[in-house]
Copies of this chain bind each other. A is one copy, B any other.
Amino acid sequence: MEFTVVGAGMAGAFLALALGRQGHTVTVYDRRPDPRTSANAVTSMNLGLSRRGLDALDRVGLLEEVTRETVPMRGRMLHGTDGALRFSAYGEGGILAIQRQDLSAVLVAAADRVPGVRFVFDTRCTGVDRDLPSVSFVDGSGNALVVKPDVVVGADGAFSTVRRFLHHDQRAEFTQSYLEWGWRELRIPAAPDGSHRMADDVFHLWPRGDTMMFAHPNRDGSFTCSCVLPFHGPEGFDSLTTAADVEALFRKHFPDVLELVPDLGEDFLSRPTFNLVTVSTSPWTHEGKAVLIGDACHAVYPFLAQGMNSAFEDALELADSLAHHPTDTAAALSRYYTRRKPNTDALATMSRHNFAELRDTVRSPAVRLERACDTLLEKLLARRWMPLHTMVTNTTIPYAQAQERATRQHRLLKLAALTTLAAAGTVVHHFRRRQ
């Protein structure tokens, strides 16, 4: 079958690879330049490959090639305002840090090697006729182009053009919701000898409630930092108008970073601010003719680091569904939607909660205590008890199941805590009476 994929990002390039390996003809269009030869504009935080992503890469034979580009992180390192460090391990496997540009280039190169797969860059999608289907593009020189594949795939991100045409005049459910926080990237350069200036095998986190920062190690000795601030308020982007403002904020919250980034204030002010958006929608498909994957149908907040991992899962589920219904594409797309939608809805909810939890880590002893109990029980009960973060990161348990199991565990934890409290009360009471 012939597919037109709009978007050569993580979702689109990976899907092209998966479909190409099944013998389909796939042409992928992207309005941006080729990531193999040109530095894309940064439009996402550094990426964290966890179990789901690694399994997916393994299934398309790319695990080894991609792993070479990564830096393993075996846990997270919390930085206190006094410079104190506290480490907590991720559990088996850990997470592999990779720069978006590097992974993008590997995926495109790998897909491009598959017969029947072709990439066209610098070419913007301008419209979709979902019923033919046909897709219109304009290339970098302004020339119009119309293609008529069997299926058009929208892998064109949170502000998807394909989605707009797929939903036009339909009873489409659609929600977009922004955080009142945004983020800016910073870079901690390598030391003169090329080594990392902080621990190079962990995810660094500076949780400060309404303000936070985190950093991924890169292979060249640098770190990519994401600084998350509210837009408004005394410590918001709006209020940071001079280098001195920025440096005062860093001196207060991230003093150890201030020393590691040259000209931090000016650098910070010169960077763009990125938004954080959740998109939830349905339908994802139009008959057997059009389908959405990745951020185009379920953009989530990035703090659980599952955007790319879930996009790979989408692509494999779509490829599997097409293989499952080789002669009925409408049934295949419908199967794909039915199997993915509950899971990506669960992911969106978990990603929202995770952001709240990240903020509260610093504020609420109750959150810390609950997390400590959770981790303790994981150790005591081995496989029978898994914290949510473990299920999301270190397993391929479908997101909806992980969420449900975590809810059950949370209830048990509460019950156990209450029972323990009651038992302790009884014991105390008993001993008091004996005195």
7 contacts between A and B (CB under 8 A): A171-B178, A171-B231, A173-B176, A173-B178, A174-B175, A175-B176, A175-B177
Assess whether A175 is in contact with B178, with CB atoms less than 8 Å apart.
no
Tell whether A172 is near chain B: CB-to-CB under 8 Å.
yes
Which residues of the partner chain B approach A174 to less than 8 Å between Cβ atoms?
174-176
Tell whether A275 is near chain B: CB-to-CB under 8 Å.
yes
CA distance A176 to B167 in the complex (A): 12
Which residues of the partner chain B approach A171 to less than 8 Å between Cβ atoms?
178, 231, 275, 277
Task: Please report which residues of chain A, range 163-191, place their CB below 8 angstroms from some CB of chain B when the two chains form the complex.
Answer: 171-178
Which residue of chain B has its CB nearest to the CB of A171?
Answer: B178
> Which of A171, A175, A231, A277 is the most central at the interface, judged by chain B CB atoms within 10 Å of its CB?
A171
How many residues does chain A have at the interface if contact means C-beta atoms less than 8 Å apart? 11
CA distance A175 to B278 in the complex (A): 11
CA distance A176 to B177 in the complex (A): 12
CA distance A176 to B275 in the complex (A): 21
CA distance A106 to B175 in the complex (A): 37
Which residues of the partner chain B approach A275 to less than 8 Å between Cβ atoms?
171
CA distance A172 to B231 in the complex (A): 14
CA distance A174 to B177 in the complex (A): 7
CA distance A177 to B167 in the complex (A): 13
Q: Mark A40-83, 1 if CB is under 8 A from B, else 0.
A: 00000000000000000000000000000000000000000000
Q: Mark A75-109, 1 if CB is under 8 A from B, else 0.
A: 00000000000000000000000000000000000
Q: Mark A316-335, 1 if CB is under 8 A from B, else 0.
A: 00000000000000000000
Which residues of the partner chain B approach A176 to less than 8 Å between Cβ atoms?
172-175
Which residue of chain B has its CB nearest to the CB of A275?
Answer: B171
CA distance A178 to B170 in the complex (A): 10
- Minimum C-beta distance from A300 to chain B (A): 16
CA distance A178 to B174 in the complex (A): 9
CA distance A173 to B178 in the complex (A): 6
- Minimum C-beta distance from A115 to chain B (A): 40
Which residues of the partner chain B approach A172 to less than 8 Å between Cβ atoms?
176, 178
Given contacts A171-B178, A171-B275, A174-B176, 6 further A-B contacts (CB under 8 A): A171-B231, A171-B277, A173-B176, A173-B178, A174-B175, A175-B177
Which residues of the partner chain B approach A178 to less than 8 Å between Cβ atoms?
171-173
CA distance A175 to B171 in the complex (A): 12
- Minimum C-beta distance from A183 to chain B (A): 13
CA distance A177 to B56 in the complex (A): 34
